[in-house]
Amino acid sequence: MFKSFSDSFLDLGDGVLGSIYPRHCPICDKLLPVVEIKNGKLRSGRLIHEACARKIRYVRGATCMKCGKLLASSESEQEYCGDCRRIRHVFDRGFSVFDYRSISGSIYKFKYMGRQEYASFYGKAVQRHLGKELLSLGIDAIIPVPMYRAKEIKRGYNQADVFANMVGRECGIPVYKNVIKRNKNTLPMKKLDARGRRNNLKKAFNIAQNDVKFKCILIIDDIYTTGSTIDEIAHEFRIAGVSRIYFLTLAIGQTT
Ligand SMILES: [Zn+2]
Ligand SMILES: [Zn+2]
């Protein structure tokens, strides 16, 4: 009995502390049971309520071959979304797990209210829905989108790092945090149009390492909007000689 009890805790995947302290459901934010009994065995509790899990919509169906955005029904025959037909992206292709509208409240708490624990659920969702596809790409490094250092200190964590760590753990891909740095505190992107976003990001990132040996990287961020941040980072890695550049975000909207 004691052995299976301790085994179930060790199975948790995010350390013993996560098993001792109750975690919050990433959708309703209520506390989840620490343990549950399944088939007569005591196991670590769920990462989300069953009813809450049913409220989430995943990115599925006709998607843009470039940014991975769900295509509107009027353009479902198209290969690329309207944005990607207009803008030439630097990255090769992107993937997202959740449809933004069904998870926006969860991501807000994850980013601004200290709910780093949600990343365990997010990481498992990536593994389940995109794990095979990501594995087939031959990625040798996960690169979380860096946060400006002073901002990260103020917030206490970079949500892209937290999410990237869980994806790395679930998919067995190493995460490199200090290869690229954000060297200026850019303005909040939501206040800017597409051109403003690109100007805002000019020279915002630089690779902090002389010799980048990666052939294929996966840039990780929380939300995909116009792709300008990912393009700027991809641009730096292209110059450094990385040949294949993908991205993964937690959530993406639909074309309107
Ligand atoms: Zn819930
Ligand atoms: Zn697109």
CATH code: domain of residue 146: 3.40.50
35-38 vs 41-44, strand pairing mode? antiparallel
Tell me, yes or no, whether 83 and 46 share the same domain: no
pTM, two decimals, is: 0.88
Tell me, yes or no, whether 111 and 183 share the same domain: yes
Distance CA 158, CA 147 (A): 6
Distance CA 75, CA 59 (A): 16
Model pLDDT, residue 210: 76
Ligand nearest to the CA of 253: 2
User: 30 CA to middle of ligand 1, Å?
Assistant: 6
Distance CA 130, CA 136 (A): 10
Tell me, yes or no, whether 81 and 46 share the same domain: no
User: 55 CA to middle of ligand 1, Å?
Assistant: 10
Q: Which amino acid is at 146?
A: P
Tell me, yes or no, whether 125 and 169 share the same domain: yes
User: 3 CA to middle of ligand 2, Å?
Assistant: 50
Model pLDDT, residue 16: 43
Which domain does 96 fall in, by range? Answer: 56-252
Neighbours of 29 (CB within 10 A): 14
CA dihedral 193, 194, 199, 203 (to 10 degrees): 130
Model pLDDT, residue 184: 78
Q: Which amino acid is at 46?
A: R
State the 10-residue block means of pLDDT for the chain, 256 residues long: 39 47 93 87 88 96 95 89 94 97 96 96 97 96 96 95 97 95 78 74 84 94 95 96 97 81
Q: What is the DSSP letter of 2?
A: H
Q: Which two tokens stand for residue 195?
A: 């051109």
**For residue 206, how far is the Cα from the chain centroid?**
21
Tell me, yes or no, whether 143 and 187 share the same domain: yes
CA distances from 14 to 9, 19, 44, 123, 147 (A): 10, 8, 11, 11, 23
Tell me, yes or no, whether 125 and 183 share the same domain: yes
Residues forming a β-bridge with 36: 43
Of 160, 252, 245, 148, the residue nearest 200 (C-alpha): 148
Tell me, yes or no, whether 13 and 78 share the same domain: no
Model pLDDT, residue 256: 59
Tell me, yes or no, whether 172 and 213 share the same domain: yes
Tell me, yes or no, whether 48 and 66 share the same domain: no
Tell me, yes or no, whether 124 and 200 share the same domain: yes
Tell me, yes or no, whether 14 and 82 share the same domain: no
Model pLDDT, residue 20: 63
Number of domains present in the structure of the chain: 2
Tell me, yes or no, whether 209 and 228 share the same domain: yes
User: 95 CA to middle of ligand 2, Å?
Assistant: 10
User: 126 CA to middle of ligand 1, Å?
Assistant: 19
